[in-house]
Chains A and B, each alone.
Chain A
Amino acid sequence: MIQHQEDIIIQTVCRILIPFMQVYGLYVLAHGHGSPGGGFQGGCIFAASFILMPIAFDLAAFKKRFAEKRIILLCSLGVFIYAGIGWLCLLLGGNFLDYGELSAILPVDPVMARYYGIAIIETGVQITVMAVMVSIFINLITGGRHKEETQENYD
């Protein structure tokens, strides 16, 4: 059985690195149009920063900030953003995810409307990927019980 042991080196380095990792995840998202990157990659980096928190500290401190209910809500929020933009284009008279039609409600021309439409759905992809990765990780390390492994669980 694996006991959680605190380690001051790992905790300090994680405390320094996690904000920079999150900023880098947003950078990868924002540069997804013109350079390598995008929602999925940015979401994975974002999820890695959240996964470092229960690795370095304990799971209870992580779940105090980021409860399971909130993770599931974020999963569906990302899908809602993606499908909502698609259906909005459908309602405005185009095809599904035909961002050019968004120029009717955004104050830009159709070309820039495509640009912003891609940015919005990439944000949705990033939120969903981040939430699903964190959820998979927590389900794996706790065996689906969502509790930290202590001796009481086995006695």
Chain B
Amino acid sequence: MIIGAKIFMIAGLFFFTTAAIGFLRFPDFYTRMHATAKGDTLGTLFFVIGLALYTLHHGFHWFSIVNSIKLISIAVFWFLASPTATHALLRSALESDLVPWTKDKKVIVAWPPKRRK
């Protein structure tokens, strides 16, 4: 049980690290949000599952099983809420005409895109 908890936590920390590196290294808002949202979501999922396994390492008492179920429900909530929040942020950036970054600073597609009324 504790080995599984360690594996999950280290996997979670790996994804948190990639999210932080992506946030620091990527050039503009869209790519930064892409890296942060994906890394944070999966990192939190893995880390919370690791914590849920860790609460069970003394044995399957009623109290630790309830704690574990609460942690799993936090992970489910996070897995629904975090990508939606990122989606809302990116959509609001799109609607306020934030131009995406390109390598030669030329806009490839017509920007802002045409909106439906």
Contact = CB atoms under 8 A, between A and B. Distances in A.
Contact of A17 (B81, B87, B88, B91): B81
Interface residues of B, number: 8
Contacts of B80: 13, 16-17
Interface residues of A, number: 8
B87 A10 contact: yes
8 contacts: A7-B88, A9-B87, A10-B87, A13-B80, A13-B84, A16-B80, A17-B77, A17-B80
A13 B76 CA distance: 12
A89 B66 CA distance: 38
Given A7-B91, A16-B80, 15 more contacts: A5-B95, A7-B87, A7-B88, A9-B84, A9-B87, A10-B84, A10-B87, A10-B88, A13-B80, A13-B81, A13-B84, A17-B77, A17-B80, A17-B81, A20-B77
Interface in B70-117: 77, 80-81, 84, 87-88, 91, 95
Chain A interface SS verdict (over half) = helix
Contacts of B87: 7, 9-10
Nearest to A16: B80
A9 B80 CA distance: 11
Interface string A1-28: 0000101011001001100100000000
A155 to B, nearest CB: 17
A26 to B, nearest CB: 15
Contacts of A7: 87-88, 91
Contacts of A13: 80-81, 84
